[in-house]
Amino acid sequence: MTAKTKPNARAKASPRKKAAARDWTAAFRVGPGRKIRLSAWNPDEDGGFEKKVTRKRTAKIIEEIDDLQYRLYAESKQALLVVLQAIDAGGKDGTIRRVFGPINPQGVRVTSFKKPTELERSHDFLWRIHRAVPPLGHIGLFNRSHYEDVLVVRVRKLAPPEIWKARYDHINAFERMLRDHGTRVVKFFLYISRDEQRDRMQRRLDDPGRNWKFSEADLEERKHWDDYMAAFEDALSRCSTADAPWYVVPANRKWFRDHLVATVLRDTLRAMDPRTPPSPDLSGIVIDG
Ligand code: AMP
Ligand code: MG
């Protein structure tokens, strides 16, 4: 046992402390109506956890998510939509690979949103999003999302302010409608520091195996770092609701990022409490041969 886990393990297990320990992720949830400032968050945060122990715990949690997913599918009355947003090199792809990799692919659908096509642009901004929302019984994973329409669109002035400013309300109404249909929405902002972004981009330049991930366009976006952070702050402050909360995920340390995301998803699925349908009376059935 490491020095870091010892005090916790020995702490008196009062019900209150137990509940607090269970809900440690709440500290990373953006309270509805709360105006957040990202400068107050630490992208290096590790929760006071130890890396090796935490990795093992994450693997166990993912096993439980797989089991809950199976029940969600069998029940087919609810769905879970997971939104991942981050700055370039923020770790969206890595999170998908590491947290969702071990989960049964039949129950999970991943959608990556790129620059809208001409057809998509001829529709309202939620059209392509709505089509990708998971059906009941499934988990849907958005790699970028409708939030791009208040992030890149705002920062790169792809639409005038009166257009994107109205979208926060559109998004909240849309997500409430999904919830009323039985679709739980959970949103993660993977928060890395500017220095970490530089290091990750440099690795993409230096490592031939990662060269394909390097994009000069990302360097252009990096120049707008402060504008992006301001846009994220508004999106997170205005669109974190009780039904569709945003989490700020400190993401400089990948193992902590994965652990927080996996824990929140496990807890969300537990709260949804999916149940396999009750067994019918099968007692008279004989399989011949
Ligand atoms: P990547 O995720 O690296 O494949 O890049 C996808 C690109 O598509 C990013 O530069 C996004 O900002 C961009 N993108 C995604 N959604 C939108 C949108 N609604 N409007 C404009 N650009 C978008
Ligand atoms: Mg990119």
Residue 264: CB atoms within 10 Å: 21
In a domain, 251, yes or no: yes
Indicate which ligand has the atom closest to the C-alpha of 201.
2
Cα(86) to centroid(ligand 2), Å:
10
The amino acid present at 208, given as its one-letter code, is: P
Cα(153) to centroid(ligand 1), Å:
9
Range of the domain at 239: 7-272
Q: Which residue has the tokens 């309202």?
A: 124
pLDDT of residue 16: 63
In a domain, 287, yes or no: no
In a domain, 289, yes or no: no
Cα(156) to centroid(ligand 1), Å:
11
In a domain, 111, yes or no: yes
CA distance 54 to 163: 44
Cα(241) to centroid(ligand 2), Å:
28
In a domain, 284, yes or no: no
Q: SS in 3 state form for the chain?
A: CCCCCHHHHHCCCCHHHHHHHHCHHHHHECCCCCCCCHHHCCCCCCCCCCHHHHHHHHHHHHHHHHHHHHHHHHHCCCEEEEEEEECCCCCHHHHHHHHHCCCCHHHEEEEECCCCCHHHHCCCCCHHHHHHCCCCCCEEEEECCHHHHHCHHHHCCCCCHHHHHCHHHHHHHHHHHHHHHCEEEEEEEEECCHHHHHHHHHHHHHCHHHHHHCCHHHHHHHCCHHHHHHHHHHHHHHCCCCCCCEEEEECCCHHHHHHHHHHHHHHHHHHHCCCCCCCCCCCCCCCCC
pLDDT of residue 15: 66
Residue nearest to atom 7 of ligand 1 (CA): 114
The amino acid present at 277, given as its one-letter code, is: P
Atom number in ligand 1 closest to CA 125: 19
pLDDT of residue 1: 37
Atom number in ligand 1 closest to CA 215: 3
pLDDT of residue 3: 40
Q: Are strands 108-112 and 246-250 parallel, antiparallel or unpaired?
A: unpaired
Query: Measured from the CB, is residue 115 less than 6 Å from ligand 1?
Result: yes
Query: Measured from the CB, is residue 10 less than 6 Å from ligand 1?
Result: no
Output the domain CATH number for residue 176: 3.40.50.300
Tell me how many domains the chain contains. 1
Q: Are strands 108-112 and 183-191 parallel, antiparallel or unpaired?
A: unpaired
In a domain, 2, yes or no: no
In a domain, 283, yes or no: no
Mean pLDDT by 10 residues, the chain (289 residues): 40 60 91 96 97 98 98 97 97 97 94 98 98 98 98 98 98 98 98 98 96 94 98 98 97 98 98 94 92
Query: Measured from the CB, is residue 113 less than 6 Å from ligand 1?
Result: yes
Residue nearest to atom 14 of ligand 1 (CA): 115
pLDDT of residue 41: 97
Please, which residues have CB within 8 angstroms of residue 264's CB and are 6 or more apart in sequence? 25, 28, 186, 188, 247
In a domain, 278, yes or no: no
